[in-house]
Amino acid sequence: MGASQRCRSSIKPPSCAFLFSVGTLWLLSTVMPARACPKICHCTDRNGMVVQCTSRNLESIPSDLPKDTVVLLLSSNRIKRVAKEAFTDLRRLRELDLSHNAIESVEAGAFQGISEGLRTLDLSNNHLSGLPKDTFAKLHARVRLSHNPWHCECSLQEVLRELRLDPETVNEVSCYTSVQEEYVGQPVIQVLDSGINFCNFHHKTTDVAMFVAMFCWFSMVTAYIIYYIKHNQEDARRHMEYLKSLPSTSHISKDYDTASSVL
């Protein structure tokens, strides 16, 4: 006997209606949010959503992305910033393309929630010059960072140390600026492979700066002490001249004795 027949035979109509309503709401709540697609994007289902948002003049990452997104294409927009936990709900995300935007900053934790499952990340052709140290924590994806105005220094070296750069574009990740001018224009990986350690240079620069600061402080203290001594010497000289200008004690005593004898 089918479920509908059992309802008609053994359950009162209001109870069947109630069960039908609950089942319908449950079905809508589980299916619709997973399949919803941002109006500005185009979505296709291929064992998970492929969300195409390329060239849509987007200035930020859409907040209403399907939770079952496996591929997210956001290239050729005007996005300037990737905020912390920007993709945290997209647990199934495998491919993320953010190339050809105007991204200037990626916050630490931006890829939190997807870092272990992500396989491809494209940040090429943006405006990135540096990244927080923990930007790519636990990330297993192959990353493209080419054609950005990178500033070669210690923090960038530390970020790249644990990163899987795309081998096809690795030599296009170049020093646009550098703490050492001779490396400007050179591929970052080649510079690091040559034995250059930007962190050592950073420490040396810091040590020199501290030495200069300490020298300036010592000079100021010395100058103050010299000024203080000279000022005290001048006061002492004036005090001595004042004392010399006073009548002597012996002269006052003689005058007092003379006056006493007369009286």
Give the DSSP letter string of 209-261.
Answer: HHHHHHHHHHHHHHHHHHHHHHHHHHHHHHHHHHHHHSPPHHHHHHHHHHHHH
Domain 42-195 - what CATH class? alpha beta
CB half-sphere exposure, 80, CA atoms < 13 A? 1
Q: Find the DSSP H helices in 100-185.
A: 154-161
Which pLDDT value is given to residue 239? 67
Query: Phi/psi at 118 (nearest 5 deg)?
Result: -65, 140
All residue ranges of the chain with pLDDT < 50 are 3-4, 6-12, 16-33, 202-208, 256, 259, 262-263
pLDDT tens, position by position, 97-113: 999 999 999 999 999 99
pLDDT (0 to 100) of residue 240: 72
Where are the chain's structural domains? Answer: 42-195, 197-237
* pLDDT for the residue 36: 83
pLDDT in tens, 11-34: 445 554 444 444 444 444 444 445
CA-to-CA separations, 172 to 111, 136, 168, in angstroms, rounded:
23, 19, 9
Residue 28 DSSP label: H
